[in-house]
Amino acid sequence: MGKLIPILLILLGLGAGLGAGLVLRPVPETDTGEISPPDPAPQPVPSGVETGIFEFGNQFMVPLVEDGRITAVIVVKLAIEIAEGQRATVVANTPRLRDALLQVMFDHANIGGFQGAFTAQNNLALLRRSLLEAAQHRLGADMVFEVLITDLLRTGS
């Protein structure tokens, strides 16, 4: 009987460990890699409106955070297609516009948009559409017609 108690304790410990492992295991991800359907064709520029490209002077830097640590940084260079007559208004509102666009990129990073195949058509379409909506919200739909991602780089692991 004295030799049976240690064996029972070992079996009880193994059973408890197995049960805890099954209860506490991580939930498998069911991500199919697609975030949203591809972006529809951009809205046409109204007739009679001359457009130009406004390039932001500085890059946007978006940190990717995992477990409270920055694991990588996304560096993005953007340009927007604008009504040429409104260039002065865009320049005057550049800080507000940068803030709105940066917030969209932070949100995109937080939903995992820059993980895995982040340059896939669907991922970039979602990002462009969100950036365009933010820019049009900030400046007006009659002033901003398209957001162009001119450079995109991921640094880190």
pLDDT of residue 26: 66
pLDDT of residue 29: 53
pLDDT of residue 114: 87
Task: Give the predicted TM-score (pTM) of the model.
Answer: 0.69
pLDDT of residue 35: 47
pLDDT of residue 38: 47
Segments in the chain below pLDDT 70: 1, 18-47, 157
**Domain formed by 51-156, architecture:** 2-Layer Sandwich (3.30)
67: left (phi over 0), alpha (psi -120 to 50) or beta: left
From the CB of residue 5, how many other CB atoms can be counted at a distance below 10 Å?
9
Helix H, strand E, coil C: the string for the chain is CCCHHHHHHHHHHHHHHHHHHHHHCCCCCCCCCCCCCCCCCCCCCCCCCCEEEEECCCCEEEEEEECCEEEEEEEEEEEEEEEHHHHHHHHHCHHHHHHHHHHHHHHHHHCCCCCCCCCCHHHHHHHHHHHHHHHHHHHCCCCEEEEEEEEEEEEEC
Q: Could you read off the pLDDT of 90-105 as tens digits, one per residue? A: 999 999 999 999 999 9
Domain ranges within the chain, ordered by starting residue:
51-156
